Structure 1
Amino acid sequence: MYLFFLWSTIDARWASPFDVRIDHHKADITHDLVINTARPRFSWKISRLDNLLYRNVQQAAYQLQLQSIQITERDNRFECDSERVNSSQSTHVSYTCQSDLLSSKYYRFRVRVWITKLEESSEWTNWIRFRTPIFNLHEYIIRNDNLLWIGSTKINMNELRKEFLVPNDSPLKSAIAYISGLGYYEFYLNGFKVDSSRKLDPGWTTYEKRTLLVSFDVSTNITTGMNAVGVKLGNGWYSQEQHGEFNYGPPRLIFILFILFENGGEMQIFSDQTWTGREGSIKHDSVYSGEMCDSRNDRSNWSRAGFNDSLSAWIMPESMPSPINISRNGLIVLQDMPPIRAGSDALHLEVEIDNQHQRYLNSEDIGKIKGASLTDGGILKPVAMWQSDSGMFSVLEMK
């Protein structure tokens, strides 16, 4: 009897829900959760119990807790607790707090559940942090006269940069960037590429109807003193050569950086004609035909503060027209889909650790699996190929 009681007590507290999502974003594999709605939805899965008595169970109830994260001294505290909700729903659970989430704020949430045949709840999930963007980006951009699309009709201006001074009057608490470079872009801060595995941004759209902006949390990339931002541009699909649209091209950039300080002070950096630009080492790029590159035009440290280039003509960019066609109800919106990635963090393989825990393999885990090493550049190489009436097939080995 004593042994049965001990066994039941241990089993009463069971593992927290896993594969937690907010809207469609998987919390476990998204480093910077950006939720572009004032009333998101939540989803999760129930961990499997190892007790044979607890088969054929389902969720009986859940509890969600959500809190704001104070970044500056002026931020107001917000908390919401659903308390216990008797429901079997575990996908697309609605946000039920009375107040909407505010734009450009940080939040965190956690969840626990109850199941049939057990009175005790699961463990809480860890707190999951997310942030909200500017909710109406299009209105913000078209009403801001200081914010410009920049580029050039005179030269192939595919590298742009700007230096700026961050004061040390108060500690820096948050730095959020919004960027769109058409057709494609690469984003650098203080000499380093931001989110280096992210590729082919922004997403391909009918640009005159919908152009996408990507948001980055660059709080750890910015320091007090002089900083520098650099952006490389490519034609991508925003090109007459690729798309056949007369109004497409040349490449252009729009950029916003919001910096918040602990005392509530703000700083903003916009794309405007205080930037400088030039033609870099890439002389021509094409989705189908590749690149023509002249390495003599490479400049190390070009996206660092204090960079001086005596060999290139960095000139003031032009104010370029927006790709959006207002007469066709065109909009500039946040890119909300998961990005295209290439690199060691591009694969997410979900595994079961034990009967109650699941997680995703990291690059070190994958490297230890025979036949699935991500060394040698992460290239997928065919180990066998064959032809049939319906096409060519290949078996791939990861090297």
Structure 2
Amino acid sequence: MKRLFLIALLVTASAAAQVRAANPVNLKCEYLVNPIGLDAKQPRFTWQMNDKRPGAAQSAYQLFVYSDAQGKQLVWQTDKINGQDILATYQGKPLSPFSKYWWKVQLWDHAGKSSQSPLASFETGMMGDAWQGKWITDTDDKDLKPAAYFRKTFPAARKIASARAYIAVAGLYELYINGEKIGNHRLDPMYTRFDRRNLYVTYDVTKQLQSGTNAIGVLLGNGWYNHQSTAVWDFHNAPWRARPAFCLDLRITYSDGSQEVIKSNDDWKTALSPVIFNSIYTAEHYDARLELPGWNTHLVSTMHNGSR
């Protein structure tokens, strides 16, 4: 009986110790968990405090940003800042494009006890750096109905450490690498005033690449960019209307530290796809008789050079 009583006391004491810990949790950069492809020159950091004690509150915090995963190469840190703020904005030296950073937060509870979070990360994107790829399309005919396929094959003779695909599209798209669709979004990228700006999306495609020959495939749709149906607010008369186009940089870092950029240019192959019509208003029409099996792999050779 005494032994059971002691065990109960130990369990209770352990639980109480865990409750007393004020841990920083839910670390986010630009409101995303470990994001990649950030273009914000002064990203924002947020966190929460996990403390179930009555009256628990953060009394101060300090933020640290590093250029290495071990947390040794300090890039920027705040002073110890008193208060309950759970948002801080980066104020350090300019961040480099295509670079990964790690960060953590140390906070103090209402009793003055401190605790630190594990390291979180964020990765910068283009950051205004020049694209190596160029905008390509298959024709100047904005009234052509079928959506276009594009593909390019390339060799990877060395071991790949990491790879990122950066793609900007006038229209809508699906991106494939070695036959696998990349990402789970639909209707990317979101609408913008296309004659003023175009958005790009970043993907981690390290796992999709392989040693030997690789293939990239892109399927382009009209979206709001090339509205072929009569539309409210005259989108079919928009001054930017043109055949959908895209610009892509696939940046590969090899295990020996060397880098290579596979880019969109005139040597991509193109063909009309089985998507014979597509419109934001009037849906997508698909003719399976026109399929090109393996179009987004290195196995098919029925597409032709013709990107513009």
Could you tell me how far 1:253 is from its partner in structure 2?
A: 1.7
Among 256, 266, 271, the alignment partner of 1:273 is: 266
* Gapped regions of structure 2 (runs ≥ 5): 1-8, 230-234
Query: In 2, distance between residues paired with 1:248 and 1:167?
Result: 41
Query: In 2, distance between residues paired with 1:306 and 1:296?
Result: 19
Aligned pairs for 1:166-245 within 5 A: 166-168=156-158, 171-195=159-183, 197-242=184-229, 243=235, 244-245=237-238
Q: Can you list the C-alpha shifts for 1:151-210, whole angstroms capped at 9, x where unaligned?
A: 323664511111011122xx3222111112331000100110001x21111110110011
| Residue equivalent to 1:315 | 304
DSSP-derived class of the 2:267 partner: coil
Could you tell me how far 1:84 is from its partner in structure 2?
A: 6.2
Aligned pairs for 1:21-40 within 5 A: 21-23=28-30, 25-27=31-33, 32-40=35-43
| Residue equivalent to 1:47 | 50
Among 137, 152, 161, the alignment partner of 1:162 is: 152
Q: Can you list the C-alpha shifts for 1:59-94, whole angstroms capped at 9, x where unaligned?
A: 212132322247xxxxxx732463761321433313
| Residue equivalent to 1:125 | 117
Letter in 1 for 2:32: K
Letter in 2 for 1:102: S
Query: In 1, distance between residues paired with 2:170 and 2:151?
Result: 16
Aligned pairs for 1:281-360 within 5 A: 281-309=274-302, 314-319=303-308
Query: In 2, distance between residues paired with 1:13 and 1:266?
Result: 48
* Gapped regions of structure 1 (runs ≥ 5): 71-76, 320-399
Could you tell me how far 1:239 is from its partner in structure 2?
A: 1.5
TM-score by length of 1: 0.65
Query: In 2, distance between residues paired with 1:273 and 1:160?
Result: 11
Contact 2:194 2:240 (C-alpha < 8 Å) held by counterparts: no
| Residue equivalent to 2:66 | 67
Contact 2:276 2:285 (C-alpha < 8 Å) held by counterparts: yes
| Structure 1 residues 61 and 206: CA distance shift in structure 2, 3 A | same
| Residue equivalent to 1:58 | 57
Could you tell me how far 1:11 is from its partner in structure 2?
A: 5.3
Contact 2:62 2:106 (C-alpha < 8 Å) held by counterparts: yes
| Structure 1 residues 90 and 305: CA distance shift in structure 2, 3 A | farther
Query: In 2, distance between residues paired with 1:81 and 1:13?
Result: 30
Identity %: 25
| Structure 1 residues 231 and 132: CA distance shift in structure 2, 3 A | same
Contact 2:29 2:46 (C-alpha < 8 Å) held by counterparts: yes
Query: In 2, distance between residues paired with 1:60 and 1:41?
Result: 20
| Residue equivalent to 1:331 | none
Query: In 2, distance between residues paired with 1:293 and 1:9?
Result: 62
Could you tell me how far 1:37 is from its partner in structure 2?
A: 2.5
| Residue equivalent to 2:139 | 152
| Residue equivalent to 1:353 | none
